[in-house]
């Protein structure tokens, strides 16, 4: 009986992954169709003629829970009840599966088992790239003269995208070093010098040797087609890509607010060092 149940879940997950991989492929195939229905000439543009990416953007998917397709499940903190549950997602990985080296799958499993305490998001560490773009928080692109800048609400992370005077990453950092250029109407950003970091709440990860190549393509005034190719031979057998739309936050008066999450991570990180019967200042 138990074997039958296991086999059932295996096939359910297998079919789900195959279907979801097809859905991601379908989305990728359809994006140019929808983009073509919104003429390139209609795109908002800067005075220099590039697509105008200025604005507050946010993803709207379950990628931060798990980049791969996944069913709904109990979250890492069961005491939160359904509030902390993992919502289902079709996945954003082109092809459906992240191509881990066999021995790296063990690390993902280990991460998954320790996700409540070890996920860098839980610790309020800067999220790195590409994760910063699919956290459930808005971010703002600033584009005018010279370099671009992206400011993230989560943890106050910020990155400059150097459009000229480009150099190799001078040092490793959490948000990495971003060199950008335009390929037609697509902003292409090569990100290196990233620290090893988690890619989602399920334990997917990349090492400090990762190179991320992002492509931002404005497909109409309120949507960006976002793709990120992830290359890390120390963790993956071959490069792989995620793809998702980014949505303009059109709420009136929308702006980034404070999410200085350090104070929300302190109990998790330093709670065991608290004096018994502590009186908190605030």
Residue 262 in contact with other proteins, rule: CB under 8 A: yes
Which residue from 233, 9, 204, 195 is spatially nearest to 110, judged by alpha carbons? 204
**Binding to other proteins, residues 149-188 (CB under 8 A):** 149, 151, 155-158, 160, 170-171, 173-175
**Binding to other proteins, residues 46-75 (CB under 8 A):** 47, 54
Piece of 58-66, 81-89, 147-155, 181-189 that binds other proteins (CB under 8 A): 147-155
Cα–Cα separations (whole angstroms), residue 128 to 174, 232, 280: 5, 15, 32
**Binding to other proteins, residues 83-112 (CB under 8 A):** none
Which residue from 198, 61, 201, 226 is spatially nearest to 127, judged by alpha carbons? 198
Q: What share of the chain is helix, strand, coil (3-state, %, to 5)?
A: 25, 30, 45
- Is the CB of 155 or the CB of 246 nearer to other proteins? 155
**H/E stretch holding 264:** helix 262-270
- Is the CB of 80 or the CB of 262 nearer to other proteins? 262
Among 6, 12, 81, 260, binds other proteins (CB under 8 A): 260
- Is the CB of 125 or the CB of 205 nearer to other proteins? 125
* Cβ-Cβ contacts under 8 Å for 175 (sequence gap 6 or more): 126, 128, 129, 132, 157, 158, 159, 194
In angstroms, the CA 256 to CA 189 distance is 23
Max Cα-Cα span within the chain: 67
# residues contacting other proteins (CB under 8 A): 45
Binding site for other proteins (CB under 8 A): 47, 54, 124-126, 140, 142-147, 149, 151, 155-158, 160, 170-171, 173-175, 253, 255-258, 260, 262-263, 265-267, 269-270, 273-275, 278-282
């Amino acid at each position: 009986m138990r074997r039958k149940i296991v086999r059932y879940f295996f096939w359910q997950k297998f079919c789900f992954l195959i279907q979801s991989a097809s859905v991601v492929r379908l989305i990728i195939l359809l994006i140019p169709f929808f983009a073509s229905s919104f003429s390139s000439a209609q795109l908002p543009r800067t005075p220099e003629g590039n697509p105008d990416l200025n604005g507050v953007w946010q993803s709207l998917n379950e990628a931060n829970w798990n980049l791969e397709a996944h069913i709904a499940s109990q979250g890492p903190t069961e005491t939160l009840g359904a509030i902390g549950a993992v919502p289902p997602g079709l996945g954003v990985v082109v092809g459906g599966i992240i191509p881990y080296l066999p021995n790296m799958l063990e690390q993902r499993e280990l991460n998954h088992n320790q996700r409540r305490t070890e996920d860098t998001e839980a610790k309020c560490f800067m999220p790195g790239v590409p994760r910063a773009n699919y956290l459930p928080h808005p971010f703002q692109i600033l584009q005018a003269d010279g370099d671009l800048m992206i400011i993230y609400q989560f943890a106050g992370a910020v990155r400059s995208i150097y459009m000229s005077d480009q150099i190799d990453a001078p040092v490793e950092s959490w948000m990495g070093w971003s060199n950008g250029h335009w390929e037609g109407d697509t902003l292409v950003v090569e990100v290196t010098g990233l620290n090893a970091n988690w890619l989602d709440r399920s334990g997917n990860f990349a090492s400090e040797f990762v190179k991320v190549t992002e492509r931002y393509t404005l497909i109409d005034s309120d949507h960006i087609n976002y793709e990120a190719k992830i290359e890390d031979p120390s963790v993956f057998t071959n490069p792989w890509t995620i793809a998702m739309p980014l949505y303009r936050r059109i709420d009136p008066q929308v702006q980034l607010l404070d999410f200085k999450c350090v104070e929300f991570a302190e109990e998790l990180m330093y709670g065991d060092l608290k004096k018994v019967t502590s009186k908190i200042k605030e």
